[in-house]
Structure 1
Amino acid sequence: MTGLQLTTLIVLALAAAGLGWLRWQHPASYWLTCGWLVTVARIVITLKSVMEACGLTEAPTRWRLWLAAATNRQPGRMTPRLRRIRVTRSGLVLRLKMQPGQDVQDFDAATERLRHAWRAHGVQVRALQPGTLEVRLIGYDVLRKVTMPSKLPAKLLQVPVALRADGSAHMRDFRTSPHELVIGATESGKSVYLRGLVKGLAAQPVALAGIDCKWGVELAPFARRLSALACTPEQAAELLDAMVQEMTGRYELIRAAQHLAPGTPLDSITSDIWGLPEDIRPVPLVMVIDEVAELFLISSKADEKRRDHMVTQLVRLAQLGRAAGIYLEVCGQRFGSELGTGATALRAQLTGRVAHRVNDEASAKMALADVSPRAVGAATSIAANRPGTAVIGLLTGGWARIRSPFVSLHEAVKACADNAHLTPDIPTLAPFRPHRTTVPEDARELAAETA
């Protein structure tokens, strides 16, 4: 072996080692450097064989059979046509032209086989238009280290709370999905998801209210930014009555502003608060309910009447709150029909679904069974060492995996304190506004030593 050959081998070995290190430590950089090129070559070369192996081919048409017979050749099966490949920061987007007789569900059922065949981290399928399919390949584990995009739209009642498996930001949009159910076991990342949501809403001109039946330990730190807080089931019942009263007042304001009389301009007629003039429009109100199961539990027969009334008021808010600008974020470790009357009715009104790691399959089914059976399986298979990972139901159909960036309690509390001046005064909720208490000096010293 000559010196030149030895040098070439050393350079190639070092380059391979460098690419291996880059792939492990900085997968995004590796993907943008050469990972996408290797994957594109693999797809182009193996497309036909992979489609045949996955059962995604169709029998030849009559004219193909006639042409094969005329040329004395064996007709091959028809495979989907690759129309376009687009490279993204986290993977590839393929556009396929399906053959007659194929269905999107066929490709959706074969996503795992396609993932292994093309050595991708994940494969997602969705229909674009009749006969055209989009296959999104995820090149690496985007959720291993969550890095939110630097440029995100800043709109009222929109908060970026997590990163999706395809590398895009997941926005919690209250205008599009007014109410949401968030479930997750202890240490699953549910509290971090909630902190990120509160941190994002704290800087917006909205009112925040909370029900925390764990004596307020989760939501009390955000007291400076809360217009109302209930820490026990008894307080929760009173606060829900006040919320329904506030909702009723907003509906009366909408009806009074409609001016349904002859000659009324059509553009002045509205059915929600967003059509009202800004000078009389009520502030949007987001209510966060932590440990919703505590509202359903009863310890004696005397509590049953209060529970039924409270659940009724909660369902009423979920059914009618959107037009009044009242939105619900319902959180809990578990949520199932065994909680009692009203649980299923409440679930039906919660459009958004977020399922972190859960301890029982019933909770995952309650949240995601009407989204997709595969989503239930994905939620129950979340590893315990991946806190913040969750499965969500998409408003566009289907489901996706997300992971929330870590938000410390200190960050969320600081955001609430910095934006305390945005806390609106709502007369109906005034009796429930948390008092600002001074923390004793010894408690501060203890907290500093613990930190």
Structure 2
Amino acid sequence: MTDLTTVAELGGALGAMSGAAYARHAHPAAYWSTIGLPVSVVRFLASYSSTMDACGLTVEPPRWRALALRATTRREIRPVPPRRGLIRPTSTGLRIRLRLAPGQEPADVAASAERLRHAWGVHAVYVRDVKPGVVELRLVGFNVLRKVRMPRRTRGGFLRVPVALREDATAFLRDYRAVPHELVLGATLSGKSMYLRNLLTGLAAQPVVLVGIDCKRGVELAPFAPRLSALATDPTQAAELLPVLVQEMEDRYDLIKARQGVVPGTPDELITSDVWGLPEGERPAPIVMFIDEVAELFLVASRKDEERRDEMVTHLIRLAQLGRAAGIYLEVCGQRFGAELGKGATMLRAQLTGRVCHRVNDEASAKMALGDIAPESVYAACAIAAETPGLAVAGDTSGGWSRMRTPHLSLADAAAICRETADLAPHVSSLAPFRPYARPVSSGDSGTLPAPLPVTE
């Protein structure tokens, strides 16, 4: 009987260990909530002082404190670590605020992030500057990019779309008011289309005019036709659409100038230099233009196409330079976007503030996207494996960059969202001739293509 009890106890222990190992690999979020979180909290509390001392993040105590210790106790006076705040657990890790000692700076803590990660046994440690003298440690318990689950609470809003998940478990927000134009690069099957799909469906629920240029005969953007206000599927149609957008931009500038011609005594807050300063009743709806495979607009097959190409590039550069104040924003996508495309390519790229680089085929393509704003992020973009579609590196002109991954969204679900939000598309009379035809979908239509019939003789 004793042997059977021992065997049962050993079998139960082995089963629990194997179950925990399986949960850690297959369901990391559940493992973290049940096992990883309490273990990490205990390890953090038990080794906080010694870990900070080993990382060189301790300082000598104030003189008054040292004198008080000598007067009241005979203990040895040791360096003190930064004073920590409350431990706030999350579904992906821990957050702790630290008050830095005099003479310390956030860079000191950020330089020791890798050592803190190993000491506390977590997946990653990130440091964020909260205010002078206070930093926040964000401990991530597992690889959140392996299976993307967007946070439930994100600070989205008008023209702010949570489109991907960063490696520190925060949402990447595409904010058009802060970053008006963006360049998205990526090789085939890198997840570039998934990023575009999530971004477009996020904007579909807002009163925003969506315009598409898809020179691949519309295979990427045609499924979203019910929500698009205009769609061009080849360079010829794009050459007709772009001048209309430029004219729309000029009309909006005339509206702004008319508002600036105010009478004396008008309050300063009523004088504006962009559409966002106009009264809500006079303000035109913002326009977001998606360009898929931008290289198709630059490539020409003969000399007679060069004039059309030069006109389109000129219109794009004007929209990129002047469109922000008129509420017109660009989302330019492609596999490669360099000077070899022709005149105006680098000038247009310089106007695209935001940069997102998925997996690329060569280092030169990554440098085209990130080399001029965050050179150290080029190596991170080149290290993206083919087995992780949707993984990308996002950078901006401030020099900051981060890894992120877009959640999976099927084409059928994205098309359904666009059909449901078709009534939200604002009406722009100048774009009416370019509005794509959307085939009505009956209740019994699944949205899939019919099966091909066999050829009979």
TM-score, normalisation: structure 1: 0.85
Q: Percent identity?
A: 58
Q: CA deviation at 1:319?
A: 1.9
Asked if structure 2 preserves the Cα contact closer than 8 Å seen for 1:84 and 1:96, the reply is no
User: What does residue 362 of structure 1 align with?
Assistant: 364
User: What does residue 14 of structure 1 align with?
Assistant: 15
User: What does residue 386 of structure 2 align with?
Assistant: 384
Q: Compared with structure 1, are the counterparts of its residues 12 and 203 closer, same or farther at alpha carbon in structure 2 (3 Å cutoff)? A: same
Instruction: Report the AA paired with residue 195 of structure 1.
Output: R
User: What does residue 403 of structure 2 align with?
Assistant: 401
Deviations 1:164-210 (A, max 9, x none): 22333333222232222111111111101111122222232211111
Instruction: Report the AA paired with residue 284 of structure 2.
Output: P
Instruction: Report the AA paired with residue 114 of structure 1.
Output: L
User: What does residue 36 of structure 1 align with?
Assistant: 37
User: What does residue 455 of structure 2 align with?
Assistant: none
User: What does residue 251 of structure 2 align with?
Assistant: 249
User: What does residue 187 of structure 1 align with?
Assistant: 189
Match of 1:111 among 87, 97, 113: 113
Q: CA deviation at 1:143?
A: 1.8
Q: CA deviation at 1:289?
A: 0.6
Match of 1:427 among 421, 426, 429: 429
Deviations 1:244-272 (A, max 9, x none): 11100011012212342213343432222
User: What does residue 350 of structure 1 align with?
Assistant: 352
Instruction: Report the AA paired with residue 26 of structure 1.
Output: H
State how far apart, in whole Å, the 1-side matches of 2:246 and 2:46 are: 62
Residue segments in structure 2 that go unaligned for 5+ positions in a row: 453-457
Q: Compared with structure 1, are the counterparts of its residues 345 and 41 closer, same or farther at alpha carbon in structure 2 (3 Å cutoff)? A: farther
Q: Does 1:211 find its partner at 2:227?
A: no
State how far apart, in whole Å, the 2-side matches of 1:381 and 1:253 are: 48
Q: Compared with structure 1, are the counterparts of its residues 36 and 185 closer, same or farther at alpha carbon in structure 2 (3 Å cutoff)? A: same
Asked if structure 2 preserves the Cα contact closer than 8 Å seen for 1:371 and 1:399, the reply is no
Q: Secondary structure at the match of 2:449?
A: helix
Deviations 1:149-168 (A, max 9, x none): 34556632232222222333
Q: Compared with structure 1, are the counterparts of its residues 305 and 123 closer, same or farther at alpha carbon in structure 2 (3 Å cutoff)? A: farther
Alpha-carbon RMSD: 3.6
340-349 vs 83-92, which deviates more? 340-349
Asked if structure 1 preserves the Cα contact closer than 8 Å seen for 2:373 and 2:398, the reply is no
Map 1:303-342 onto structure 2 (within 5 A). 303-342=305-344
151-160 vs 260-269, which deviates more? 151-160
Instruction: Report the AA paired with residue 229 of structure 1.
Output: L
Q: CA deviation at 1:88?
A: 1.5
Deviations 1:375-417 (A, max 9, x none): 3222221221111111223698733222212112222222222
Asked if structure 1 preserves the Cα contact closer than 8 Å seen for 2:165 and 2:171, the reply is yes
Q: Secondary structure at the match of 2:125?
A: strand
15-24 vs 55-64, which deviates more? 55-64
Q: Compared with structure 1, are the counterparts of its residues 56 and 228 closer, same or farther at alpha carbon in structure 2 (3 Å cutoff)? A: same
Q: Does 1:96 find its partner at 2:101?
A: no
Q: Compared with structure 1, are the counterparts of its residues 152 and 446 closer, same or farther at alpha carbon in structure 2 (3 Å cutoff)? A: closer
Asked if structure 2 preserves the Cα contact closer than 8 Å seen for 1:22 and 1:30, the reply is yes
Instruction: Report the AA paired with residue 193 of structure 2.
Output: S
Q: CA deviation at 1:438?
A: 8.7
State how far apart, in whole Å, the 2-side matches of 1:217 and 1:114 are: 48
Q: CA deviation at 1:48?
A: 5.0
Q: Compared with structure 1, are the counterparts of its residues 21 and 318 closer, same or farther at alpha carbon in structure 2 (3 Å cutoff)? A: same
State how far apart, in whole Å, the 1-side matches of 2:373 and 2:245 are: 30
Q: Compared with structure 1, are the counterparts of its residues 59 and 339 closer, same or farther at alpha carbon in structure 2 (3 Å cutoff)? A: farther
User: What does residue 266 of structure 2 align with?
Assistant: 264
Map 1:27-176 onto structure 2 (within 5 A). 27-47=28-48, 50-51=51-52, 54=55, 80-152=82-154, 155-176=157-178
State how far apart, in whole Å, the 1-side matches of 2:447 and 2:162 are: 34
TM-score, normalisation: structure 2: 0.84
Instruction: Report the AA paired with residue 86 of structure 1.
Output: R
User: What does residue 231 of structure 1 align with?
Assistant: 233
Q: How many pairs are equivalent?
A: 446
State how far apart, in whole Å, the 1-side matches of 2:64 and 2:300 are: 71
Residue segments in structure 1 that go unaligned for 5+ positions in a row: none
State how far apart, in whole Å, the 2-side matches of 1:330 and 1:324 are: 18
Asked if structure 2 preserves the Cα contact closer than 8 Å seen for 1:158 and 1:172, the reply is yes
Q: CA deviation at 1:335?
A: 2.5
Asked if structure 1 preserves the Cα contact closer than 8 Å seen for 2:190 and 2:386, the reply is yes
User: What does residue 290 of structure 1 align with?
Assistant: 292
State how far apart, in whole Å, the 2-side matches of 1:397 and 1:344 are: 19
Q: Compared with structure 1, are the counterparts of its residues 370 and 52 closer, same or farther at alpha carbon in structure 2 (3 Å cutoff)? A: farther
379-388 vs 4-13, which deviates more? 4-13
Asked if structure 2 preserves the Cα contact closer than 8 Å seen for 1:394 and 1:400, the reply is no
State how far apart, in whole Å, the 1-side matches of 2:107 and 2:302 are: 50
Q: CA deviation at 1:326?
A: 0.8
Q: Secondary structure at the match of 2:392?
A: strand
Asked if structure 2 preserves the Cα contact closer than 8 Å seen for 1:89 and 1:167, the reply is no
State how far apart, in whole Å, the 1-side matches of 2:142 and 2:396 are: 22
Asked if structure 2 preserves the Cα contact closer than 8 Å seen for 1:104 and 1:133, the reply is yes
User: What does residue 25 of structure 2 align with?
Assistant: 24
Q: Compared with structure 1, are the counterparts of its residues 123 and 398 closer, same or farther at alpha carbon in structure 2 (3 Å cutoff)? A: farther
Asked if structure 1 preserves the Cα contact closer than 8 Å seen for 2:374 and 2:399, the reply is no
State how far apart, in whole Å, the 1-side matches of 2:160 and 2:144 are: 23
223-232 vs 206-215, which deviates more? 223-232
Asked if structure 1 preserves the Cα contact closer than 8 Å seen for 2:156 and 2:173, the reply is no
Q: Compared with structure 1, are the counterparts of its residues 15 and 169 closer, same or farther at alpha carbon in structure 2 (3 Å cutoff)? A: same
State how far apart, in whole Å, the 1-side matches of 2:5 and 2:151 are: 45
